[in-house]
Amino acid sequence: MIWVIGCKGMLGAELALQLTQANIPWTGTGEEVDITNVQALENFFNSTETASYLSSHNTENHADNGKIRWIINCAAYTAVDKSEDDAEKAHAVNADGPMNIARVARAHGAKLIHISTDYVFDGTANIPYTENFPRAPLGVYGQTKSEGEDNVAKGMTQYYIIRTSWLYGFDGRNFVYTMTNLMNTHESVKVVNDQKGSPTFCGDLASVILRFIERADGATSFFGRNSAAPYGTYHFTNEGVTTWYEFAKTIYEYGQKYGRITHDCDVQPCTTAEYPSKAVRPAYSVLSKNKIEKELRIKIPSWELSLERFMKGDRFSLK
């Protein structure tokens, strides 16, 4: 069985859907199980091994008999600017939380997939960041996520850390929904044009997460020996590089094409200096995907293709 922590968030909800569609046993928790409290995690883990829990989740006939074999940690304090004022909470969730999860996972023999961020880098590079590039986070959010990575690596050996960037999906607030709403209600919007990165569709990231599990658990029977991806850190985003401004322009294009945007709106570029924020953002946060493409033998769709698929999909719903 797979335990999705943060199952009510944007990525967690997508994972829950894909796991259900694939008929893979899973359980999920949100804020009701506090990841900053190791005993709360331990108590939940133990509760899933009771006969009544296993019976209610129809896991008796599966090979693992309902025992949690994988934990996917999607929980995070992602309010980048608020983190600057609430560093204690950001640290508790982003650094202490992963440490506690790793501790419980190791104690019960479960493997861990932990989601991290491009914000662990300072954005001064001019070529895509590889997994082993020195981390140098600029703000509290990035610092706490970087510490969370270290805590996972110190706490266990059977883990995958997946860094991603510019995430959007069907459930929860994100840049695509925000821009679509603004473009429907404003004659013009300004978007920064001097920060480069790669958007990531939650549906694609969730599929890759499940592929890690498939390759690890089914390596011998499905792929042959030694075909599981080595444990460690990986990068995943959609293919291609853009700016927030060009991203917004493409959202407007697809929004009009598929009837998501019904008003004319002038999308204008601006500089980061014109759009001040409490936390400093990396100017360049493009992540290299060479390692994950090689190890999982996947072809990653472009950000434009995935964005179009998202905006024309039946699940697109403005909040």
b/e map of 244-278 (b: 16 or more CB within 10 Å)? bbbbbbbbbbbbeeeebbeeebebebeeeeeeeee
User: Residues 110-133: what's their mean pLDDT?
Assistant: 97
pLDDT value of position 61: 47
pLDDT tens, 31-88?
Answer: 999 999 999 999 999 988 765 555 555 554 454 557 899 999 999 999 999 999 999 9
Task: List Cβ<8 Å contacts ≥24 apart for 88-94.
Answer: 90/140, 90/141, 90/144, 91/140, 91/144, 91/147, 92/36, 93/35, 93/36, 93/144, 94/141, 94/144, 94/145, 94/147, 94/148
**Is 70 exceeded by the pLDDT of residue 216?**
yes
Residue of 119, 141, 234, 245 marked catalytic: 141
pLDDT tens, 191-210?
Answer: 999 999 999 999 999 999 99
pLDDT value of position 226: 53
The residues spanned by each domain of the chain are 2-173+198-241+284-301
pLDDT class of 186 with cuts at 50, 70, 90: very high
pLDDT value of position 223: 45
Output the six-digit token pair for 92: 């508790």
Phi, psi dihedrals of residue 220, rounded to the nearest 5°: -70, -45
pTM (2 decimals)?
A: 0.93
What does the alpha-carbon distance between residue 218 and residue 234 come to, in Å, rounded to a whole number? 20
The residue written with tokens 């108590």 in the block is: 43
**CB 114 within 8 Å of CB 101:** yes
pLDDT value of position 222: 46
pLDDT value of position 314: 86
| Alpha-carbon dihedral angle through residues 143, 146, 150, 156, given to the nearest 10 degrees | 130
pLDDT tens, 257-290?
Answer: 999 999 999 999 999 999 888 899 999 999 999 9
pLDDT tens, 291-319?
Answer: 999 999 999 999 999 999 999 988 888 86
User: Residues 134-150: what's their mean pLDDT?
Assistant: 97
Please report which residue ranges of the chain form alpha helices under DSSP H: 10-21, 38-47, 51-56, 80-85, 87-91, 97-108, 140-155, 175-185, 202-217, 244-257, 290-296, 303-311
pLDDT value of position 55: 52
Higher pLDDT pick, 288 / 225: 288
What does the alpha-carbon distance between residue 155 and residue 113 come to, in Å, rounded to a whole number? 13
Q: Across-strand partners of 268? A: 190
Task: Identify whether 141 is a catalytic site residue.
Answer: yes
Which of 2-6, 52-56, 174-178 has the weakest average pLDDT? 52-56
pLDDT value of position 64: 57
The correct CATH number of 2-173+198-241+284-301 out of 3.20.10.10, 3.40.140.80, 3.40.50.150, 3.40.50.720 is 3.40.50.720
pLDDT tens, 78-116?
Answer: 999 999 999 999 999 999 999 999 999 999 999 999 999
